[in-house]
Structure 1
């Protein structure tokens, strides 16, 4: 499918599961509380810090490790980073990897649930995530991971981490309000900014790769789909915006194929490899850079 395939189909492929989507919608509605709780430097720093940490857990581990196995990690690190990924409230590691592998098999084809060329922007951005049929984990696509009981546990109980994170932020804010009143924060402020705002921004930053990165940007390689490289989205998502590169060769630990393509996730993975936390980061073979090249 090319970028000139014609107008997007406006009709969604299936109805949204509204009752099942209630927690997701409640998170968004709760963001309006920023107008009542105010903001402080410490609350804003917490929101940014949790955004970056959880985005790295998604991009570095849910995506580049569990979906594509672009490096090696020990079982304990594998579990801890899968747990960190659940804090993003984007379901469990097995579900995420299975869905993403299916996407690569059917990118911008009829089977792709979040192709903007097939279903329009809003459906590809968020609608697909709110359907009932998209909730079960396709375990046959992640047979390499289902043998780990701890990963199956996290996949089934992926809300445990976020449910603990939210009151943890409330408690931290209450403690800071008493122990360090000069910081000007509170329990409500830390919860609203550290959990609600940070999570909602994280949702939509991640979703831009499904929607915007298949519509706006440049195409270096002929990948048979509409994937594009977008430097702004790469900054927002710690490197995921080099999406045409990634669809051309998903087996590399880096998505910014050249030094000027900033890929913060890859830099983080390199640091972990230097510390021997992970190993065997897969490079981009030289032959890949010239294969099916458009420009």
Structure 2
């Protein structure tokens, strides 16, 4: 039970920071947060993604390219131009690494406003850090695994962030239903997204990329958006269209 709880916990916490901080905030700016809070979420993303930490800058810029060039040869990840899932994942990794190191030709407009903390990314993405996290996962499994098959889950911990991305960028461009006619193959992969915390409503998202809520129909519950509403209510973030408390004080 401990191993399964750890696996499920890692799956959803890692996924939350990927969709909340890297995707909806860094790539799309669906809400605002202070510089201090932004730094905190860099650190929290590192803690909960662990061995597969993704740079907000690298992810944000690459995801903007995906929206701008979806299902064209310039798309960083498209089932239309990558014959297999693993080929697409490797291509994504290659482009992500190049973008993060400023070695990929990217128009300045795709970089504008994307949060960047190079010193922290260098530490969090270093192989020594990734190996340390991987070793910690392995030791945890050695200590608490009660069945041999539980160790089959261990490699997923090492690749959890890329797996989350691959589920959407592959399957949600091949299978599912469509709410909106768009100029790409994006689909809503799950009608009730219990697995990807709202990310499966990919067609909705491609129709309106800047919207914080990916769900639209009654059954399309976006669990990440519910958390976003809570964080907005307690003042951790500020939704678009709302003035910050500082602005309200100045106006008063």
CA distance in 1, matches of 2:86, 2:136: 33
Shifted more, 200-209 versus 163-172: the winner is 163-172
2:79 corresponds to which residue? 116
CA distance in 2, matches of 1:102, 1:251: 14
Deviation at 1:202, TM superposition (A): 4.7
Match of 2:114 among 118, 125, 145: 145
1:73 corresponds to which residue? 33
CA distance in 2, matches of 1:280, 1:238: 19
Contact 1:113/1:124 (<8 A) preserved: no
* 2:221 corresponds to 1:262: yes
CA distance in 1, matches of 2:14, 2:187: 24
Deviation at 1:74, TM superposition (A): 1.8
Task: Mark the structure with the bigger radius of gyration.
Answer: 1
Shifted more, 258-267 versus 240-249: the winner is 258-267
The 1:196–1:154 alpha-carbon spacing in structure 2 relative to 1, beyond 3 Å, is farther
Shifted more, 219-228 versus 115-124: the winner is 115-124
2:54 corresponds to which residue? 91
Deviation at 1:46, TM superposition (A): 1.4
Contact 1:251/1:282 (<8 A) preserved: no
Deviations 1:148-199 (A, max 9, x none): 5xx122333332564554455567779xx6xxxxxxx27xx9x968864334
Taking structure 2 as the reference length, the TM-score comes to 0.77
Query: How many residues are treated as equivalent by the alignment?
Result: 227
Taking structure 1 as the reference length, the TM-score comes to 0.66
The 1:233–1:257 alpha-carbon spacing in structure 2 relative to 1, beyond 3 Å, is closer
Q: Secondary structure at the match of 1:211?
A: helix
CA distance in 2, matches of 1:127, 1:201: 14
Structure 1: gaps spanning 5 or more residues: 1-40, 178-184, 284-295
The 1:135–1:169 alpha-carbon spacing in structure 2 relative to 1, beyond 3 Å, is closer
Contact 1:116/1:123 (<8 A) preserved: no
Structure 2: gaps spanning 5 or more residues: 243-252
The 1:278–1:194 alpha-carbon spacing in structure 2 relative to 1, beyond 3 Å, is farther
